[in-house]
A and B are shown apart, each in its own frame.
Chain A
């Protein structure tokens, strides 16, 4: 493509196939704790 460079194709839809096991870390996003934006979390399903 001449006008677009795709950096990544997106994984959200594919992730529907995962079990949603919630083994990943909790993601408090307030300032009072070192809070993770949810998108930081590594997936722990393997």
Chain B
């Protein structure tokens, strides 16, 4: 597929897939594009004669021809060979440190089974954490930036170790001339003044989990006794965001499930609480789970994304813009094509480490024995498995190769592909549908921005 066109908010938008060019076109061009590559001029004039005048069709075709010549329409994919022939080594430069395989909550959709990842509950010792830091520095080659995500379970259940690991990382980054950025993802229950100050000072990003409206959150994000967390966490999240250095990032993030597919309302709720960096994302659960997103939910979900896009456009006009994580597309820049085709990096640029020091391709593969890559204590990883992940880029995924969204999506989530289709190369349909809708909306927002 070389172009993708769609109508949204009374506009016709055309994306030239392989160049990344974006155009807004009138109805004549929009219709002509259907036939441009397969029919002659004369045929197109005939085919569209009941809708448009001959003169306007010929004009439109001329403009299309010009854009084709300028590599802005129907551009060929000239990256495939480059990617397939890429023999450059890869370096691990991002790591998910599962500092706690334990959690003080029992959220109903948790993929980590209350933090335990279906193993035993455990906390990472500072010793393992330090080994993990050594491991990532050693394997990062000449990459300067390293990302470390403090994850769980609930990482703040192991705050002392977190502090020790970070202290160590700071010493080591100086010695090895690296820049280590930390992110923490927390359920916010354990935040207090001391921890908040620490997070603000030391974390490049903090992800605070709350699902939105009280009834939505408390339906899912519950304690062991079944009680909801909303009243406890909202004030803490607000305080954390208030404290947050305004030059640093935070995200208030929630998950929507089959039970709140009207999640536009949760976004608005969070905006009304004063948050302006928001992420609400689809739950990923096996089909049988009552909370799982179902195919039938898609039309409503699409409508929510459009409403969020509208809200964003409106609020931006009033000077009250916000960030909806998934709409932050940078159409004038963004990463280079090498990055775009290579996907999430799981297994060869990004790994997850368990409290025991075991290394997996990412947090979602943790506990799946056949995907174990190694252990931080011996410091080696299974090169063959790692290469399998590296080679699982869009040009080895038949569906992605023909998908217009490939340079925005970069091939979906390997872990989801594996769980739903038993193969990391086979994208998970529902995720694709939502991804494509989000990209369409994100680009529409950009179009409105550029036009105003």
The answer to whether B19 and A18 have CB atoms under 8 Å apart is no
For A12, the chain B residues whose CB sits under 8 A away are 18-20, 79, 337, 340, 407
The answer to whether B337 and A6 have CB atoms under 8 Å apart is no
Closest to B332 in A: A8
The answer to whether B71 and A38 have CB atoms under 8 Å apart is no
Closest to A26 in B: B94
Closest to A41 in B: B335
Q: How far is the CA of A11 from the CA of B284 in the complex (A)?
A: 33
For A33, the chain B residues whose CB sits under 8 A away are 96, 149, 151, 185, 207, 363
Judged by DSSP, the binding face of B is: mixed
The answer to whether B339 and A44 have CB atoms under 8 Å apart is no
Distance to closest chain A CB from B352 (angstroms): 10
The number of chain A residues with a CB under 8 A from chain B is: 42
The answer to whether B281 and A35 have CB atoms under 8 Å apart is yes
Closest to B447 in A: A7
The number of chain B residues with a CB under 8 A from chain A is: 91
The answer to whether A4 and B24 have CB atoms under 8 Å apart is yes
**Stretch from B120-128, B219-227, B408-416 at the A interface:** B408-416
For B409, the chain A residues whose CB sits under 8 A away are 29, 37-38
Confirm or deny: B438 has a beta carbon within 8 angstroms of a beta carbon on chain A: yes
The answer to whether A43 and B335 have CB atoms under 8 Å apart is yes
Distance to closest chain B CB from A29 (angstroms): 5
The answer to whether B93 and A40 have CB atoms under 8 Å apart is no
Distance to closest chain B CB from A18 (angstroms): 4
| Chain A 8-44 interface 0/1 with B at a Cβ cutoff of 8 Å (1 = within) | 1111110110101111111111111111111111111
The answer to whether B336 and A37 have CB atoms under 8 Å apart is no
Distance to closest chain B CB from A32 (angstroms): 6
Closest 6 CB pairs of A and B: A20-B338, A10-B19, A10-B21, A26-B94, A10-B20, A15-B336
Partner-A contacts on B (CB < 8 A): 16, 18-26, 28-29, 56, 59-60, 63-64, 66-67, 70-72, 75, 78-79, 82, 88, 90-91, 93-94, 96, 111-112, 143-145, 147, 149, 151, 185, 207, 251, 253, 255, 279, 281-284, 325-326, 328-340, 342-346, 349-350, 362-364, 407-410, 412-413, 415-416, 435, 438-439, 442, 446-447, 450-451
Since A11-B333, A22-B91 are in contact, a sample of 4 more A-B pairs with Cβ atoms closer than 8 Å, ordered by chain A residue number, is A3-B29, A4-B24, A7-B447, A32-B111
Contact sample, A vs B, 6 pairs, CB 8 Å cutoff:
A8-B450, A11-B20, A22-B339, A24-B339, A28-B350, A31-B283
